[in-house]
């Protein structure tokens, strides 16, 4: 029996900068997970992934990652995705620098 679909966000890395990015509901690639589009329909998620896979001049490794809505904000449900939201592991770079 197939597993039931769970909500996802579409994520990838930008080709040039290497930043982790997320697709938002307006079709833009944003830097922060809390701005991502939580896609609750499996067919829509697969369509958006297919589009992202064609953006090889912009993105590297797009994929759908499990997430859930908490207090109106999509949050990752796996430690790997939580780690990716923080940017580079060196605290003085990237997203961590802004915090």
Assess contact for 22 and 33: CB atoms under 8 A: yes
pLDDT of residue 65: 97
Domain ranges, ordered by start, for the chain:
8-98
Tens digit of pLDDT for each residue in 31-68?
999 999 999 999 999 999 999 999 999 999 999 999 99
Length of the chain: 99
- Read off the tokens for 18: 């290497």
> Across residues 73-99, what is the average pLDDT?
75
Q: Is the pLDDT of residue 99 over 60?
A: no
Q: What is the pTM of this model?
A: 0.85
């Amino acid at each position: 029996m197939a597993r039931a679909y769970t909500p996802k966000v579409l994520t990838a890395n930008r080709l040039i900068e290497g930043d982790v990015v997320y697709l938002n509901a307006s079709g833009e690639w944003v830097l922060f997970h809390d701005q991502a589009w939580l896609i609750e329909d499996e067919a829509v998620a697969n369509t958006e992934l297919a589009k992202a896979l064609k953006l090889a001049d912009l993105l590297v490794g797009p994929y759908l990652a499990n997430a859930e809505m908490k207090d109106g904000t999509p949050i990752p449900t796996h430690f790997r995705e939580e780690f990716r939201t923080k940017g580079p592991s060196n605290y003085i770079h990237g997203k961590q620098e802004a915090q």
